[in-house]
Amino acid sequence: MGPGPIPGDRCRPERIGRIPIKGVMLVQSSDEPGGCTAYQQYQTCQAPWGSDAWDCPMSPLEWMFVPNRPEPPSATTTGPSAPRRVGLFGGTFDPPHVGHLVTAVNVRHSLELDLVVLMVANVPWQKEGTRRITPAPARLAMVEAAVADVPGIVAGSAEIELGGPSYTADTLVALASEYPDAELFTIVGDDAAAGITSWERYREVVERSALVVVDRPGDPVELPAEVPWIRVEVPRLEVSSTDLRSRSNDGRPLDYLVTEPVLDVIRSRGLYRDEVAVAGAGT
């Protein structure tokens, strides 16, 4: 992290708490004495506010009230600051739940990835015709809401932009174009990994990326021997999108199974049922 404001600077809040900040920045204030003089972009910090360890200039709310604030520069995908290790975590995400986030965060930590992309399938060919799929734009909106405040995890729309059925081999080509200097990792669950030889052009997937299988605690699933695997164990959470859709249809609450921002998208768009039940609310 870059240096924070000097002690006593007006940009240093006089309160205590733990607030993770993404997109931290300071601005030059020429019209007020003691104004902030540094500029920081896309940082995350979580330190006690008001302590010597604090390195954040201001909260996002305070930033919104800074006059004539500059916009943060776009994250670059090339050059020295570009991500070098990028994970592709594809899915239907109908809806995205806390298990998806736990997987993404733990794989990123275990493999020291710079970025994990939760890639929203446009038309998931393996599920096509088996059930009604929520429209891709709505699923993308839910994923964007889910990862908005999660460092190093982003939503991906390349498969939606490509159109048609979604195949990982094509997605990796698009991802390699977006991050030309990055080593790519394809992240899959053990059930999907066991059937990878049925994937469309699966050998291209193996050639273009390292294959990461997410293991749950317990006996590992037997995987195709012809494919090299990286196995990462993550906590087991008994939650699935199928169950969440069923819960919603039954009027049961989804609280704490999906994040609050995802619930907001579900409610505002009327997904899965006209109204999602809230924990503690009357039936």
Phi–psi pair at 247, nearest 5 degrees:
-60, -45
Q: Which of these ranges, 61-70, 96-105, 167-176, 213-222, has the smallest mean pLDDT?
A: 61-70
> Could you tell me the pTM of the whole model?
0.68
Pick the CATH number of 85-241 from 3.40.50.620, 3.90.1570.10, 3.60.21.10, 3.30.70.260: 3.40.50.620
Q: What are phi and psi of 243, to 5 degrees?
A: -65, -40
Cβ atoms < 10 Å from Cβ of 166: 25
Tokens of 60: 């996002």
pLDDT at 225: 84
Sequence-ordered strand ranges (E) for 158-256: 183-189, 210-215, 229-233
Any idea where the domains of the chain sit in the sequence?
1-71, 85-241
CA distances (Å), origin 65, targets 25, 61, 69, 112, 240: 13, 7, 9, 36, 40
Q: Using one digit for the tens of pLDDT, what is the confidence trace for 94-126?
A: 999 999 999 999 999 999 999 999 999 998 766
Query: Looking up tokens 């604090």, which residue turns up?
Result: 54
For 238-276, write each residue's pLDDT tens digit. Answer: 899 999 999 998 889 999 999 999 999 999 999 997 444
Mean pLDDT, the chain, integer? 75
**Strand pairing of 21-22 and 44-45?**
antiparallel
183, pLDDT greater than 60: yes
| Residue 86 DSSP SS3 | strand
Location of structure tokens 């999907």: 192
Least confident interval from 50-64, 161-175, 204-218: 50-64
Q: pLDDT per residue over 70-92, tens digit each?
A: 444 344 566 666 789 999 999 99
Of the candidates 50, 52, 61, the residue with the CA atom closest to the CA atom of residue 24: 61
**SS3 state of residue 191:** helix
